[in-house]
Amino acid sequence: MHGKLFLKIFGSYLVIAAIAIGVVGFLVGNQIREKLDRQIEAELFAYARIVELAPVREVAQRAEEIARITLARVTVIDRDGTVIAETDRDALAIGSHFDRPEIQEARVRGKGTAVRYSQTVGEEMKYVALPIRKGDQIAGYIRLARPLVEVRRSVEAFTGILLRSFLVILALSVAAALFFSRRLTAPIREMERFTERLRRGEAPGTLLIRTPDEIGLLAENINYIVEELQKRIDALQEEKAKVEAAFSSAMDGVLLLGIDGKIETLNQGMRSLIGERYGEIAGKTPLEAFRNLDLQKALDQHRASGRPVSQEIVFGEEPPHVFDVAISGVRGVSGSEGKTLLVFHDVTRLKKLERMRVDFVANVTHEIKTPLTAILGFVETLQEGAIEDRETARKFLGTIARHAERLNRLVEDLLTISNIELGEMRFCFESVALSGIVQSVMHILHVKAQEKRIDLAAEIPDGLPPIRADRDRLSQILINVLDNAVKFTPEGGRVRLSAAAAGDEVLLRIADTGIGVPRDEIGRLGERFYRVDKTRSRELGGTGLGLSIVKHLMAAHRGRMEIESQLGRGTTVSLYFPVFRDTSA
């Protein structure tokens, strides 16, 4: 870089210097040559003119003398061109000189000059010839010749001066070129290093070139561009990070299909939604990956219509997952035209809830309809005349009352649940000592237990910490659980209520020797209207909501319920209540 620029500058200096010296040399050299030439010519003519009018013979005789005076070679030729005298001995043998151009010129014009290279002298010679007249007649010619050594020497000397000055210029231009190329390349080299750092992706910093010329402006522009670039890169990276974060942390699964219909990218959400079941799906078509007919049909539909398609699709066999799949084309992003975006939203839970809601309505309707049908049936029979028979009428009215009571209980239970769920039930939590509540509850259930000859007893140890509870709700919980226990325990069985402190909680345990619950159905006991044995429960006057209410109330108390059971041997319900802590103190 440095060398090249130096050579360029140096070279241009050199060319300019050479041209200048060449032109000067040519012009001045010519001038010198011409001037000397003319001087010699004039001198020779002047000498020649002296002898112009002398008789030829005399001139010829005194040729040597003339030659000595004029420092020239003298040749005297007669009218026909025969050499009469010649001071240069070597040339004596030469014959007629008549055809020489200077002689011819002298004959025609009165004087003649010529420059010729003389073999004998080995030098350029200047020839000057004049006719020697005798009256009007030309009697002969005198020719003076002098070598142009002087001219050559002068020109040579001049050329030498030129060459020396050229050498000086050469040295000067090397220095100047070095200086200017340094000065020019230093900032350029700095810019080069700067852009190199930029290319390697390192932080380039700022260019520190503050000159008012073009290079300074260039450096300023580069600084500006780099700054702008950095800003844009930062902004883009931030944008990209945002998109990536959204893409990868979205709970919904996202698939991007390429133009060839193969899966290009999928996010973490998608991986966790589908699990390991399908293996690696990237690079496959959805059909290859999932082999799902509905998904393929939805994709085909999207491809045919070009409009977004949203559809619920069931995936996998065990357990089935329901996804709400939204298929849309990718638009407005260059390089992504023709790609397809699939968003999978897991609606399995939603579907289950929907199902539960539908089931609930069906259940409620059924529960209400059963007593209503009975009531309507008996009322109809009474209307048709049974009312006349007092005994039957009384029996019927009793049945109607019982069914109406059940309806009432059902509605009350439903209201309780609905209130808890809506959060409209007011709880008044306070410090409650278990023993008092248990006593009153036992009192209520005592009669019912005695009817079935069930041994019902409570064992509450002294010194139990008070629990945090709402008095009324607590007795409702206990009544519901104990009522269940009594209900599902055959005659002569036993129901025990015991209590114990367990860390931060107080454990109330209600154990019976009843019919028990199958192991795999224990989990469903808290569901609304769930009954292990439907007909039997209804015979016993249950609404199917008792345990569901208990579950809800326990949750409101920040406690929990656990159920253990063995079919045919009995059930144990464990209720955990938090110990009361005096927060006001």
Partner 1 sequence: MEEVKRTSQHYEMELQSIKQNLLYLGALTEHAIENVLASLLDRKSDLARTVIDGDAEIDRLDTEIEEQCIRLLALRQPIARDLRFITTAIKINGHLERIGDMAVNIAERVLALNEEPQLKPYIDLPRMAEIAREMIRGSLDAFVREDCQLANSIRRKDAEIDTLNEQIFRELLTFMLEDARTIHRALLIMQVSKNLERIADHAKGIADMVVYMVTGINVRHQWPGETPDDVCDTKRQQP
The footprint of partner 1 (CB under 8 A) covers 260-261, 284-285, 287-288, 291-293, 296
Which C-beta is closer to partner 1: that of 278 or that of 429? Answer: 278
Which C-beta is closer to partner 1: that of 9 or that of 281? Answer: 281
Which C-beta is closer to partner 1: that of 279 or that of 332? Answer: 279
Strand duo 123-134 + 137-147: pairing: antiparallel
Which C-beta is closer to partner 1: that of 293 or that of 401? Answer: 293
Q: How far is the CB of 520 from partner 1 (least distance, A)?
A: 20
Q: How far is the CB of 287 from partner 1 (least distance, A)?
A: 5
DSSP label at residue 187: H
Count Cβ atoms within 10 A of the Cβ of residue 98 and give its class: 0-12 exposed, 13-18 middle, 19 or more buried: middle
Q: How far is the CB of 342 from partner 1 (least distance, A)?
A: 16
> Do 256 and 340 contact (CB within 8 A), yes or no?
yes
Which C-beta is closer to partner 1: that of 339 or that of 552? Answer: 339
Q: How far is the CB of 292 from partner 1 (least distance, A)?
A: 7
Q: How far is the CB of 497 from partner 1 (least distance, A)?
A: 44
Rounded Cα distance between 511 and 574, Å, is: 8
The full DSSP string for 523-542 is GGTTSTT--SSHHHHHHTT-
Measured between alpha carbons, how far is residue 415 from residues 353, 433, 480, 531 in Å? 20, 28, 16, 20
Rounded Cα distance between 146 and 45, Å, is: 12
Which C-beta is closer to partner 1: that of 285 or that of 392? Answer: 285
* Cis amide prior to 319 (ω within 30 degrees): yes
Rounded Cα distance between 287 and 299, Å, is: 10
Which C-beta is closer to partner 1: that of 300 or that of 533? Answer: 300
Which C-beta is closer to partner 1: that of 317 or that of 388? Answer: 317
Q: How far is the CB of 291 from partner 1 (least distance, A)?
A: 6
Which C-beta is closer to partner 1: that of 255 or that of 508? Answer: 255
First-to-final CA distance of the chain: 86
Which C-beta is closer to partner 1: that of 186 or that of 259? Answer: 259
Give residues with Cβ within 8 angstroms of 138, minimum separation 6: 79, 107, 131, 132
Q: How far is the CB of 485 from partner 1 (least distance, A)?
A: 36
Which C-beta is closer to partner 1: that of 180 or that of 278? Answer: 278
Count Cβ atoms within 10 A of the Cβ of residue 262 and give its class: 0-12 exposed, 13-18 middle, 19 or more buried: middle
Q: How far is the CB of 322 from partner 1 (least distance, A)?
A: 16
Give the Cβ contact number of residue 518 at 10 Å.
11
Rounded to 10°, the helix 471-487/434-451 angle is 30
> SS3 for 447-505, per residue?
HHHHHCCCEEEEECCCCCCCEEECHHHHHHHHHHHHHHHHHCCCCCCEEEEEEEEECCE
> Do 44 and 66 contact (CB within 8 A), yes or no?
no
Q: How far is the CB of 285 from partner 1 (least distance, A)?
A: 6
Strand duo 340-346 + 253-257: pairing: antiparallel
Q: How far is the CB of 353 from partner 1 (least distance, A)?
A: 24
Which C-beta is closer to partner 1: that of 190 or that of 312? Answer: 312
Q: How far is the CB of 352 from partner 1 (least distance, A)?
A: 20
**Tokens 């009697």 belong to which residue?**
139
The encoded tokens of residue 284 equal 């496959």
Which C-beta is closer to partner 1: that of 81 or that of 261? Answer: 261
The one-letter amino acid code at 116 reads: R
Rounded to 10°, the helix 546-556/471-487 angle is 150
Q: How far is the CB of 288 from partner 1 (least distance, A)?
A: 5
Q: How far is the CB of 264 from partner 1 (least distance, A)?
A: 15
Which C-beta is closer to partner 1: that of 214 or that of 260? Answer: 260
The encoded tokens of residue 156 equal 């040579």
Rounded Cα distance between 483 and 477, Å, is: 10
Measured between alpha carbons, how far is residue 250 from residues 122, 295, 486 in Å? 106, 21, 51
- Look at the chain and count its residues: 585
Q: How far is the CB of 573 from partner 1 (least distance, A)?
A: 36
